[in-house]
Structure 1
Amino acid sequence: MDTALDQRLTDLESRLAHHEKMAEDMSQLLFEQGRTIDRLTAQLRRLREQMAEVEFGGGRSPQDDRPPPHY
């Protein structure tokens, strides 16, 4: 083969390897971001539930409104 053609082929193979590595890295990053989003979504759901309980007085018993025994 021609040396110029060999060099072009080598350059193309190098570029392809770089793009394949970049695609793998991006795939891993997207996977990790998906896990983070899922974790944060679950945490946000729990916080909303806790806020709703506080807002609507959930979790309180009638004893909470009584004055302490020393009054």
Structure 2
Amino acid sequence: MIAYLKDEDGAGVVEEHLAGDEGPCVAHAVNLCEVYYDYLRNEGEEAAKDAVETLKNDGLEVRTDMDEPFWKT
């Protein structure tokens, strides 16, 4: 997701999933935490908030569940 936001190598893969018609593009909140922390550390709080919001606006669905069946899949 960071590669997508920064238009680095691999950005196209994320873009394909966001734009694809195979179903929703889903990421867990833990993964968004990584994105948020990277931007917070390197660019500040507003950039971190904007990065997460951009992903959501571009079609990313966020999962927050963390029950055992979920994390074992």
- Where on the TM-score scale, by shorter chain, does this alignment land: which range? under 0.3
Q: Greater share of strand residues, 1 or 2?
A: 2
Q: Mark the structure with the bigger radius of gyration.
A: 1
Q: TM-score, normalised by structure 1?
A: 0.24
Structure possessing the higher relative contact order (Cα contacts under 8 Å, 6 or more residues apart): 2
